[in-house]
């Protein structure tokens, strides 16, 4: 606890939320100088004290702060946020009802066939969580509810369900859950005949689970850094007391994340070890769990394996082929020298995944020019290839496949910005798709809107894809406000899928845009590489250039642009606002990674060492340190005017810890020269994913949109 009576007095005055004076003043965090020396440079972090020594307990859901002044400060920020948004309560309620009106509250998903059963889930009006159901043989058979998540979550502030997977006999369900918002999962097994859970629980799992057979389960146990260390084989009738260690991550790969996967035909199980630029793959026959090293990639080399007949097929960017090549090798000849090239690298297409069904190979790929996902079906007998056509200019496509690897009809999940979630059935023999189900979206008319895919010119000449949505008839005269979304990290591309919530802004005249910037993989793996490490500044300048393109084209005007991004997208928000505060009129940063140099310099944090291969290692490299310091949002706050800003976070977030946005807000308050709104919205019952309840999620979205409208004086 800080030994400072003046501090205690200040903190006490901050939490007097009933005081009229309090409502007029923002909390002011005390400055407690903390000196950090790195590569011969000294910097002073006045808000280091906001990181509590009990942070690991806090992430686990126990809000036992060693320094109670931190909790009081967070409470003061929360009270200030509530007070400042009090005048928007009516707007929030209107937005809530609008968003809710476009959701069919009583909903049943399209069933997935697995063996003799059809699996689906239902949502019921007034309930926050799904109800998992199945029917035997036909959809007209009696319904079996095997998990009512509402019942599991009853009485809990937060309940995160998943993953969940049944064994091949459909007799047992393995599932995970979390009550704090952290990445940890507790694993249980449910008897689907009796509906009862086995007595045991497997605690401290990453949530990566996989059935070996009908009675044995593979479970990944977390290490102290939450990355996954050991894989255990668990007899579901005996539980973890009799667990058998089948794989332990070698010490040389300590900084890598561990996960399980299997081939499409379920014959082989893989352990994948991943970090920011390396991947290691171990393979075992399912029939006899014995993992052996298959491939070790360094310097951004990755692999994706599947099995067909007597061969492994390997999708990889080895030897600098960053649009990826396809190899095959016999199951008993793993050495790279035995790999046979099947498909060479393309200049314009990036291969992303492979699946084998019946005698067909399905290639997932990205069209690097159009920044869109595509599918190609290849007949392994004739060699003939056919690309699957899609109906929209911009869309989101997810390959779901089928549980039966002999299937000749497989499932695709598809949507576009104005086409609600649709299940497509792909006939592999004809390569034709049929829409078998579209999720009903009430009070939504797609004919009112227009979707465009345009390209902004980056300052170095690259073409940045931008997906744009607006009402038809919009005149591009610069009179409209815009909301621009972005991410641009870890190779995670921003898709052009359907989201009914955004039409609450579009119907108020906003232009909604997604900037597909470098650091994501929208234009292939090289697009990702060109936005990481010493190329990271491309991510930020791309976003600025895409925003300026929207202004140049008359979609909006300077200062009339709201921006939003989460996690590494929150880093994006912080950096571009530091660089160009004049460009934006409103900023929302969700669970924002903004204290970059301090976090990436602290190897004691769970995610730090793997991050060195994404951002650079400021501990070992003075050059990496200098480069990260150029954009680290917290370290680049200046004494200047900033637009209105909202920082959303969760106290139990172990991916981006609570003190990052708390420190960012504190320093912004101390340095910024304007009177614009600056809010910290700290959810005390959430982690990185935010609220787990569907009606709370709508509350959060309504709050964010109300903030945007408040920024621009709208309702």
The verdict on whether 296 is a catalytic residue reads no
The per-residue b/e assignment along 519-555, b for 16 or more CB within 10 angstroms, e otherwise, is bbbbbbbbbbbbbbbeebebbbbbbbbbbbbbbeeeb
Catalytic pick among 521, 649, 653, 692:
653
In 516-615, DSSP assigns E strands to 561-566, 586-590
Distance (Å, rounded) from C-alpha 480 to C-alpha 555? 6
Residue 558 CB neighbours (<10 A): 14
CA 109 and chain centroid, separation: 22
232 neighbors 218 (Cβ within 8 angstroms): yes
Active site residue 405: no
Residues whose CB is less than 8 angstroms from the CB of residue 376 and which lie 6 or more positions away in sequence, other chains included = 362, 363, 365, 385, 386, 387, 388
Distance CA 577, CA 588 (A): 11
* CA dist., res. 408 & res. 88, Å (int): 54
Neighbours of 636 (CB within 10 A): 17
Q: Six-digit token pair at 254?
A: 């300590």
> Both tokens of residue 301?
């080399």
Can you give the length of the chain in residues?
715
The dihedral of CA 174, 178, 182, 184: what is its sign? negative
The reply to whether 688 belongs to the active site is yes
| Alpha carbons 466 and 455: distance in angstroms, whole number | 6
> Among residues 78, 205, 567, 649, which one is catalytic?
567
Measured at the CA of 375, the angle between CA 373 and CA 378, to 5 degrees, comes to 155
Say if residues 49 and 66 touch (Cβ distance below 8 Å). no
Q: Where are the alpha helices (DSSP H) in 85-163?
A: 89-101, 149-153
Question: 6, exposed or middle or buried, with CB in 10 Å at 0-12, 13-18, 19+?
Answer: exposed
- Could you tell me whether strands 325-330 and 311-316 are parallel, antiparallel, or unpaired per DSSP bridges? antiparallel
CA-based nearest residue to 608, from 224, 143, 80: 224
Give the active site residue among 405, 480, 685, 688: 688
Q: How far apart are the first and last CA of the chain?
A: 44
Structure tokens at 33: 């100088």
CA 81 centroid distance within chain: 26
Asked whether 514 and 339 are in contact (CB, 8 A), the reply is no
Neighbours of 80 (CB within 10 A): 22
Active site residues: 567, 653, 688
């Amino acid at each position: 606890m800080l030994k400072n009576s003046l501090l205690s007095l200040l903190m006490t005055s901050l939490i007097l939320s009933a005081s009229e004076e309090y409502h007029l003043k923002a909390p002011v965090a005390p400055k407690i100088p903390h000196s950090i020396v790195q590569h011969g440079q000294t910097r002073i972090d006045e808000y280091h004290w906001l990181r509590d020594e009990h942070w690991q307990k806090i992430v686990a859901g126990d809000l036992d702060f060693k320094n109670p002044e931190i909790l009081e400060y967070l409470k003061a920020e929360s009270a200030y946020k509530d007070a400042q948004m009090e005048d928007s309560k009516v707007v929030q309620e209107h937005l809530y009802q609008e968003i809710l009106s476009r959701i069919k509250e009583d909903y049943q998903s399209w069933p997935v066939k697995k063996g003799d059963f059809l699996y689906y889930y239902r949502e019921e009006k007034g309930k926050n969580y799904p109800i998992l159901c199945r029917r035997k043989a036909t959809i007209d058979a009696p319904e079996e509810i095997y998990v009512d998540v509402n019942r599991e979550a009853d009485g809990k502030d937060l309940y995160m369900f998943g993953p969940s997977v049944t064994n091949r006999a459909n007799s047992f369900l393995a599932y995970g859950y979390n009550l704090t918002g952290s990445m940890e999962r507790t694993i249980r097994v449910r008897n689907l005949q009796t509906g009862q859970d086995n007595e045991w629980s497997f605690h401290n799992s990453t949530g990566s689970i996989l059935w070996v057979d009908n009675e044995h389960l593979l479970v990944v146990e977390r290490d102290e850094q939450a990355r996954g260390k050991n894989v255990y084989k668990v007899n579901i009738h005996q539980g973890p007391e009799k667990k058998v260690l089948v794989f332990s991550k070698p010490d040389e790969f300590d900084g890598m994340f561990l996960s399980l996967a299997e081939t499409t035909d379920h014959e082989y199980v893989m352990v994948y070890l991943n970090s920011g630029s390396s991947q290691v793959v171990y393979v075992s026959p399912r029939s006899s769990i014995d993992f052996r090293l298959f491939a070790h990639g360094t310097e951004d080399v990755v692999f994706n394996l599947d099995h067909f007949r007597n061969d492994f097929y390997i999708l990889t960017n080895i030897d600098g082929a960053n649009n990826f090549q396809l190899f095959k090798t016999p199951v008993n000849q793993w050495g790279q020298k035995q790999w046979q090239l099947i498909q060479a690298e393309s200049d314009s297409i990036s291969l992303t995944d492979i699946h084998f069904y019946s005698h067909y190979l399905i290639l997932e790929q990205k069209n690097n020019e159009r920044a869109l996902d595509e599918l190609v079906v290849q007949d392994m007998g004739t060699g003939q290839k056919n690309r699957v056509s899609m109906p929209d200019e911009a869309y989101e496509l997810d390959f779901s496949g089928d549980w039966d690897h002999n299937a000749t009809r497989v499932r695709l999940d598809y949507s576009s910005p104005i086409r609600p979630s649709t299940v497509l059935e792909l006939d592999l023999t004809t390569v034709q798709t049929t829409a078998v189900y579209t999720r009903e979206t009430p009070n939504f008319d797609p004919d009112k809107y227009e979707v465009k895919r345009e390209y902004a010119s980056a300052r170095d000449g690259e073409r940045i894809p931008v997906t744009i949505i607006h009402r038809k008839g919009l005149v591009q005269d610069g009179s409209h406000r815009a909301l621009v979304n972005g991410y641009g990290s870890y190779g995670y591309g921003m898709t052009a899928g359907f989201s009914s919530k955004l039409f609450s802004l579009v119907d108020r005249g906003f232009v909604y845009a997604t900037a597909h910037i470098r650091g994501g993989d929208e234009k292939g793996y090289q697009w990702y590489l060109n936005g990481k490490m010493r190329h990271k500044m491309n991510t930020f300048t791309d976003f600025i250039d895409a925003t300026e393109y929207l202004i140049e084209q008359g979609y909006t005007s300077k200062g009339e642009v709201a921006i939003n991004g989460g996690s590494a997208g929150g880093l994006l928000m912080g950096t571009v606002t530091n660089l160009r505060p004049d460009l934006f009129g409103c900023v929302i940063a969700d669970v924002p990674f903004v204290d970059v140099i301090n976090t990436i310099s602290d190897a004691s944090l769970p995610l730090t060492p793997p991050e060195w291969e994404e951002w650079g290692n400021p501990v070992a490299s003075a050059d990496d340190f200098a480069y990260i310091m150029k954009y680290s949002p917290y370290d680049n706050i200046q004494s200047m005017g900033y637009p209105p800003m909202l920082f959303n976070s969760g106290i139990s977030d172990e991916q981006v810890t609570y003190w990052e946005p708390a420190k960012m807000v504190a320093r912004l308050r101390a340095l910024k020269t304007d009177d614009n709104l600056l809010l910290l919205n700290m959810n005390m019952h959430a982690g990185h994913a935010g609220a787990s309840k569907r009606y709370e999620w709508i509350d959060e979205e309504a709050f964010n949109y109300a903030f945007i409208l408040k920024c621009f004086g709208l309702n």
